[in-house]
């Protein structure tokens, strides 16, 4: 996602946040932000995360490149938050906006999952503000769930929520990339398909879920502080470089990975379609021959999974009900025989991504598939590994 979409429902809170941020304050008083980050799962937030618009890793006019200083994280609008494109030796380009979107939605959905688990609800829904698709989580409980002691149920619900938050957030932001690849326009006029699955998007999204999951276990700092700490630590591990290195790395692949200098006039050729459906891991697209990163080895992260719920006698799965114009094409890929109206990520993301990779290979060439090109060269079919727990 490279642009934001503002619904009327969130217009007033958005204006309030902007006014308060201009005064240098945390935008909206929220119990989820005033206590410890580890309390967020049970406390929750007053509103969904703020809207953010991402950027591409291309060296465009006015493109914001970052170094080690990423500012202070803000779940709501905060002027000290720095966003743009950084470069890391082991993770390639990182879009900090995409990362923060995924992180905050992970926290929000973990808290939402906890609330519904404690109620014993069989399902709940959520959606990304930039899409019209509805996501619904279905949950199956052990027979004794409602009779468990309150403290035990709270402990289990918390651990389960920390599994469900990263998964639901990752599925949601990945679905948005799928929609935009197929032509969906968040702002209704300008196509974003050129930037869908751009080489830094998916990896940045996944990194956001990893950072949020770590921050939500921080018992000493507030949520915003915990995200900043976890983000800075992870970026150091990945080998974050100064801003001029990030810019030079982008400039070095102009003409091969992309062409153009201005916004939507860019022709994005290199994409990263690795969402973990081949081996359960998500890898980065490293820019070749970055002088300060000799012999850099890519860092892989596991894609979020719901497998861990089985340890607690729980199971869950997600269904997506698309409402965009592009739903017809996607449903035809998911249901070759017809008849389907909902997308099960654990089943349908694999054939959808295989179809998208084939389109990209035909348009840009097989070398422009990011880490997935290795699997394509081996003719390895994608596998449904995003979730393995049985449906209730």
- pLDDT tens for 119-140 read 999 999 999 988 899 999 999 9
List, in sequence order, every residue forming a beta bridge with 136; answer none if it has no partner: 125, 319
Mean pLDDT of 237-250: 98
pLDDT in the model for residue 28: 64
Mean pLDDT of 187-200: 77
Judging by DSSP bridges, how do beta strands 301-302 and 281-282 pair with one another?
antiparallel
Residues 285/379/205/286 CA torsion (nearest 10 deg): -10
| Residues written for the chain | 392
Q: Could you tell me which of 185, 203, 205, 206 has the C-alpha nearest to residue 194?
A: 185
**Structural domain contains residue 385:** no
Q: What's the predicted TM-score (pTM) here? A: 0.90
DSSP 198: B
Mind listing the pLDDT tens digit for each residue in 129-169?
A: 888 999 999 999 999 999 999 999 999 999 999 999 999 99
Residue holding tokens 């989580």?
137
**Structural domain contains residue 3:** no
| Mean pLDDT of the chain, nearest integer | 89
Contact of 50 with 10, CB cutoff 8 Å:
no
**Which string of b and e fits 286-314 if b means at least 16 CB within 10 Å?**
bbeebeebeebebbbbebbbbebbeebeb
Residue 192 has pLDDT above 90, yes or no: no
Nearby residues of 367 by Cβ (< 8 Å), 6 or more positions away: 373
- Find the domain containing 114 and state its range: 8-377
pLDDT in the model for residue 49: 92
pLDDT in the model for residue 23: 36
**Structural domain contains residue 277:** yes
CA distance 97 to 2: 9
What is the Cα Rg of the chain in Å?
A: 20
> Percent of the chain having pLDDT more than 90?
75
Mean pLDDT of 324-330: 93
Contact of 324 with 131, CB cutoff 8 Å:
yes
Query: Between 195 and 154, where is the model more confident?
Result: 154
Contact of 382 with 355, CB cutoff 8 Å:
no
CA distance 93 to 65: 10
CA distance 118 to 105: 20
Residue 16 has pLDDT above 80, yes or no: no
Neighbours of 154 (CB within 10 A): 16
What is the domain count for the chain?
1
**Structural domain contains residue 250:** yes
Residue 302 has pLDDT above 80, yes or no: yes
Phi and psi torsions of 336, nearest 5°: -55, -30
pLDDT in the model for residue 117: 98
**Structural domain contains residue 206:** yes
**Structural domain contains residue 391:** no
Q: Could you tell me which of 125, 213, 103 has the C-alpha nearest to residue 169?
A: 103
Q: How confident is the model at residue 71 (pLDDT cuts 50, 70, 90)?
A: very high
């Amino acid at each position: 996602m490279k642009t934001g979409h503002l619904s009327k429902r969130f217009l007033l809170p958005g204006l309030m946040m902007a006014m308060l941020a201009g005064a240098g304050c945390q935008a909206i008083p929220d119990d989820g932000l005033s206590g410890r980050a580890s309390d967020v799962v049970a406390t929750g937030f007053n509103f969904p995360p703020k809207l953010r618009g991402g950027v591409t890793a291309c060296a465009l006019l006015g493109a914001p490149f970052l170094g080690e200083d990423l500012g202070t994280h803000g779940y709501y609008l905060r002027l000290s938050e720095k966003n743009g494109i950084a470069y890391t030796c082991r993770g390639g380009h990182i879009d900090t906006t995409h990362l923060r979107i995924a992180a905050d939605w992970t926290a929000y959905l973990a808290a939402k999952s906890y609330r519904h688990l404690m109620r014993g609800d069989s399902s709940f829904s959520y959606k990304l503000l930039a899409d019209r698709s509805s996501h619904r989580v279905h949950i199956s409980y052990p027979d004794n769930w409602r009779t468990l002691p309150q403290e035990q149920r709270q402990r289990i619900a918390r651990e389960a929520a920390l599994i469900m938050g990263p998964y639901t957030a990752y599925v949601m932001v990945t679905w948005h990339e799928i929609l935009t690849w197929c032509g969906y326009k968040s702002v209704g006029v300008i196509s974003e398909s050129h930037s869908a699955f751009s080489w830094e998007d998916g990896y940045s999204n996944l990194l956001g879920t990893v950072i949020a999951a770590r921050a939500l276990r921080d018992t000493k700092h507030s949520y915003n502080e915990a995200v900043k700490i976890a983000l800075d630590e992870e970026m150091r591990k990945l080998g974050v470089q100064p801003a001029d290195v990030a810019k030079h790395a982008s400039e070095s692949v102009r003409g091969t990975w992309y062409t153009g200098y201005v916004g939507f006039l860019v022709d994005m050729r290199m994409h990263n379609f690795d969402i973990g459906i081949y081996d359960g891991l998500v890898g980065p697209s490293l820019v070749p021959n970055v002088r300060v990163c000799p012999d850099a080895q890519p860092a892989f992260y596991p894609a979020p999974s719901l497998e861990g719920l089985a340890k607690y006698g729980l199971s869950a799965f997600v269904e997506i009900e698309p409402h965009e114009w592009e739903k017809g094409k996607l449903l035809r890929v998911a249901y070759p025989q017809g008849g389907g109206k909902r997308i099960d990520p654990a089943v349908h993301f694999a054939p959808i991504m295989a179809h998208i990779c084939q389109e990209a290979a035909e348009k840009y060439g097989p070398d422009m598939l990011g880490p997935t090109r290795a699997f394509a060269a081996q003719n390895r079919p994608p596998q449904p590994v995003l979730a393995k727990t049985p449906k209730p």
